Amino acid sequence: VLQVPNSLGSLLAWLCRPRAVEPSCCFLYLHGFPDQSLDHRKELSSYGQLRPTLPQRLAAQLLAARPEAAFAAFNFSGTPGSDASCPFRDKTVTQELSDTLAMISYLRERWPGLPIHVIGISTGAIVASLLRGVDAIGDITITTIAGLKNVQRGLCFDFDKVQQQAFDSDGECWKEFWLPRESPSNPPEAKFDGVCSNTGSEGSERWEKAHLPLAAAYREDFLKLDLPTAISTGTAPLLVLHGDRDRSVPLENGQ
């Protein structure tokens, strides 16, 4: 478990590396929105560990196939665990790109010239795509899962009409986020539904649907992202994965 410095303070991060040798490369996982890579609960031994969802399964499979590699993940700024200097309200994708560059810099300081394979899902895939447009980033390759290029369409996948109207009228909306009920490490502004839900359960631990305030600056920033240019002008090898039965982000949006 690590605290990696970024432009706002630090990021909660996790790194697994080979014991006996220097890593030959590093897989870097970028989580989606609303989601997180690592458990933020300081009161538990699972603090800073991979969530028992996609990041944990991905790390297990990739490190079994490539035992000489490292695997890293972190929570973006504003996400629980990385919200000391940036509350959820102030999240933006541009800051998440900056966070990713900070994580890459941290890895390269430890292992100069380290090849890094970035794997992003959903909004993490958007951040990974934007990396392709960054100059002088070094030896990286990119895989995107369930991403998109058209941010106008993408906005509708993350925010319904009520939330977008709230952006207009109130300057913020209440965004859904899954959290463990009654954890003292949750953001204090989190609001849970009155009735317990099974949605988002992870084994014997139940993560329930809550809501957190998010400023309209997130939408303004999102709509300014120039994904087509980043993708078309970049030279880093890019693999695009998109399920043909994806109901959250239909296939045509990822083509």
130-189, pLDDT tens digit by residue? 999 999 899 999 999 999 989 998 999 999 999 999 999 999 999 999 999 999 999 999
Buried-state track 111-144, b at ≥16 Cβ within 10 A, e below 16: beebebbbbbbbbbbbbbbbbbbbeebeebebbb
**How many alpha carbons lie under 13 Å from residue 116 in its C-beta half-sphere?**
28
Position 193 scores a pLDDT of: 84
Q: Domains for the chain: give ranges and CATH numbers.
A: 2-156+225-246 (3.40.50.1820)
Q: How far apart are CA 146 and CA 123, in angstroms?
A: 9
Greatest alpha-carbon span in the chain: 57
> What distance lies between CA 119 and its chain's CA centroid?
10
DSSP 133: T
Residue tagged 């239909």 (tokens): 250
> What's the pTM?
0.94
E-state strands within the chain: 2-5, 10-16, 26-30, 70-74, 116-121, 140-145, 172-180, 191-192, 201-202, 205-215, 238-241
Six-digit token pair at 244? 């043909």
DSSP 212: E
Position 196 scores a pLDDT of: 57
Position 243 scores a pLDDT of: 80
Position 201 scores a pLDDT of: 42
Position 195 scores a pLDDT of: 61
* pLDDT beneath 50: ranges in the chain: 198-204
Rg (CA), the chain: 18
